[in-house]
Amino acid sequence: MSMPISGTMPQKIALPGVRYTLAVASGKGGVGKSTVAVNLAVALQQKGNRVGLLDADIYGPSVPMMLGLGLVDPRLAKFPLEKFGMKVMSMGFLVPPERAVIWRGPMVHKAVAQFLSDIDWGELDFLVVDLPPGTGDAQLTLTQSAPLTGAIIVTTPQDVSLIDARKGLKMFQEVRVPVLGIVENMSYFICPKCGERYEIFRHGGGQRCAQELGVAFLGAIPIEPTIAVQGDLGVPIVASHPETEVAKVYHQLADRVIAAAQEIHAQETPLPSL
């Protein structure tokens, strides 16, 4: 049973220079959401788009490590850092990795609102927002206040992950944010020696979930050990190994995301009066 959303809806933050704002979300942690967000953002940039990446996971920011970026002077925090041709902002630039951020929901909302409104993002085609995992107060407030074009739900094939993916999708429906579709991460593994395919965590659950809920299935991303290695090295696999199968899958995902965002924009744009 879904609980009604009560209270006054927060005012949407205006981002006049940003054409599309995309939330990458998951109903639970551990599904590779940030990895998907980072590699999707790089793939979008490689296709000639102006891209920004906002790490909205205040409690556990991982984007700085995945992009090989460290701390910055807080006095310079009005300007996003740049890496791989993208503009990037994260709480991880302002707080040492060993220090815990112990904030309640309103403080998280305030921080992310400042990242959206006070940062000089400039002109962007896509702003990718890596949301915290889950469907709690912080996530709900963010989805209500950020000017989201649409959301992408990341899941893994197991039933336990798909249950939480459904909850995440329901949250976006409650706040009237379009869901671009579902991505199944860790979908299968191709043995590099024999070429045989293994479905370690089962397979196809994401596509079945998408069909059941009436949203698009955006793609199945394979398990690739190099992804984790490159994430630790600070160079996403789409940038470091563009010839790999997984990099090609991310580019296909980027194409589908671009098409879905353009379709939503076309539906929202009123036709000129005759």
Q: Is residue 189 part of a domain?
A: yes
Are the CB atoms for 226 and 266 separated by under 8 Å? no
**CA 265 to CA 20: how far, in whole Å?**
8
SS3 content of the chain, % helix, strand, coil (to 5): 40, 20, 40
pTM: 0.89
Q: Is residue 44 part of a domain?
A: yes
The domain of 217 spans: 18-71+81-268
Q: What are 134-178's pLDDT values in tens digits?
A: 877 667 777 888 889 999 999 988 777 778 888 888 889 888 899
pLDDT at 269: 57
**CA 217 to CA 204: how far, in whole Å?**
10
Tokens encoding 16 = 């006049």
More confident residue, 12 or 41: 41
Q: Is residue 12 part of a domain?
A: no
pLDDT at 10: 64
Q: Is residue 101 part of a domain?
A: yes
Q: Residue 60: pLDDT above 70?
A: yes
Q: What is the CATH number of the domain that holds 254?
A: 3.40.50.300
Number of domain units in the chain? 1
pLDDT at 88: 96
Q: Is residue 1 part of a domain?
A: no
Q: Residue 100: pLDDT above 80?
A: no
pLDDT at 3: 43
**CA 42 to CA 242: how far, in whole Å?**
11
Average model confidence (pLDDT) for the chain? 85
Q: Is residue 10 part of a domain?
A: no
Q: Is residue 130 part of a domain?
A: yes
Q: Is residue 7 part of a domain?
A: no
**CA 234 to CA 145: how far, in whole Å?**
30
In DSSP notation, 39-89 reads: HHHHHHHHTT--EEEEE--SSS--HHHHTT-----GGGTTS-EEETTEEEE
**CA 108 to CA 131: how far, in whole Å?**
11
Q: Residue 49: pLDDT above 90?
A: yes
